[in-house]
Amino acid sequence: MTSQSDELLPWQWPEEVWRGKVEQVRAGRNLKPARWKNGARCAVALSFDVDHETNELRDGGKSVGRLSWGQYGNRVGVPRILDLLKRQDIPASFFVPAVTALLYPEEQRRIIGAGHEIGLHGWIHEVNTAVPPENERELHLRSADTLEKVTGVRPVGMRTPSWDFSDVTLAIERELGLLYDSSLFADDDPYEIVEKGEPTGIVELPVEWIRDDAPYLSMNRFQALRPYTPPEAVFDIFRREFEGAYAEGGLFLLTMHPHVITYRSRFWILEELVRLAKAKGDCWFATHAEIAAYVKDEAGI
């Protein structure tokens, strides 16, 4: 079927082909609980994708300038983030490519030591759909072993690099026995991932480019990529996403990067958001792993 469907153009596909593609990985039951932990109205999941130099290495590592930009994430970004989390006494999740963990093992141990979570984020921030399936499997398995070796803690969740999800990614996550994924888009609130009609027991904590600092604030001198949204507007979008989640009693999940959000002109966005959520008095700040475990438990999965 695959080879035949590859030869056909999409408008020529028989129903089994287009239906099969859609049903490969689906959102199943909604896992938004009636109440969050300790009766909280809203769950706040802050995540930081600790790409550092792997963004440039993934593309060939040709630019020394861009590599140094990655190092900013380690020298300035992560310390600034950890300082905020400590001051506010809140946990967060850090998704770390294995190569980042090998470049900065002390940083990873500091993150774990401060009570935060570290999750999988590929080997060298490779694009899963561009890697042959057998290599993708080996890279994720090696990454899990590497993070465990560096931090002493086995990761229970994965955020695929660039949220790129191949035909075999879910099977690899199941083989790894992961509790959750946080790379897909089918809801605002947690759901159970279904593979070809079969519930997998894996929780999806959905992401969105809207709730990501990178699309608004990234820059590439030699491409058309520019920061096109002022920090005030980024804050306003994030704030409305949070207020919506709070109104609905849902999940507010934010993706950020140590080399993007932490600049002096931007870091207030996060500070202000945390203050706003704390002022509500009934928001549950938790790691992705804690949230996934809670919703799974509440649903009796």
To Zn ion, the closest distance from the beta carbon of 122 in angstroms equals: 8
- Residue range at the interface with Zn ion (CB under 5 A); choices 47-55, 62-70, 142-150, 282-290: 47-55
Q: Which of 43, 49, 155, 242 binds Zn ion (CB under 5 A)?
A: 49
CB atoms within 10 A of CB 189: 20
> Minimal distance in Å, beta carbon 161 to Zn ion?
5
Stretch that binds Zn ion, among 43-51, 58-66, 76-84, 263-271 (CB under 5 A): 43-51
CB of 73 to Zn ion, least distance (A): 11
Say if residue 118 is exposed, middle or buried (CB neighbours under 10 Å; 0-12, 13-18, 19+).
buried
Q: Which amino acid is at 73?
A: G
Which residue's CB is nearer to Zn ion, number 49 or number 189? 49
Please pick, from the candidates 32, 43, 51, 258, the single residue that binds Zn ion as defined by CB under 5 A: 51
Task: Pick out residues in 94-113 that bind Zn ion (CB under 5 A).
Answer: none
Closest contact distance (angstroms) between CB of 32 and Zn ion is 26
Distance of CA 254 to the CA centre of its chain: 8
CB 158 within 8 A of CB 182: yes
Judged by CB under 5 A, the stretch of 50-58, 76-84, 171-179, 190-198 that binds Zn ion is 50-58
Q: Closest approach of Cβ 145 to Zn ion, in Å?
A: 20
Beta carbon nearer to Zn ion, 49 or 188: 49
Of residues 73 and 91, the one with the C-beta less far from Zn ion: 73
For Zn ion, how many residues bind (rule: CB under 5 A)?
2
- Asked whether position 126 contacts Zn ion by CB under 5 A, the answer is no
Share in percent of the chain as helix, strand, coil (round to 5) = 50, 15, 35
Residue listed under structure tokens 């799974």:
296
| Torsion (CA) 189, 193, 197, 201 in degrees, nearest 10 | -120
51: tokens are 């790409």
Around Cβ 19, how many Cβ atoms within 10 Å? 10
Q: How far apart are CA 76 and CA 59, in angstroms?
A: 23
Q: Which residue's Cβ lies closest to Zn ion? A: 49
Nearer to Zn ion, 108 or 200 (CB): 108
Q: Measured between alpha carbons, how far is 154 from 150 in angstroms, rounded to an integer?
A: 10
Complex with Zn ion: residue 164 or 167, whichever CB lies closer: 164
Cβ–Cβ under 8 Å, residues 100 and 52: yes
Residues interacting with Zn ion, by CB under 5 A? 49, 51
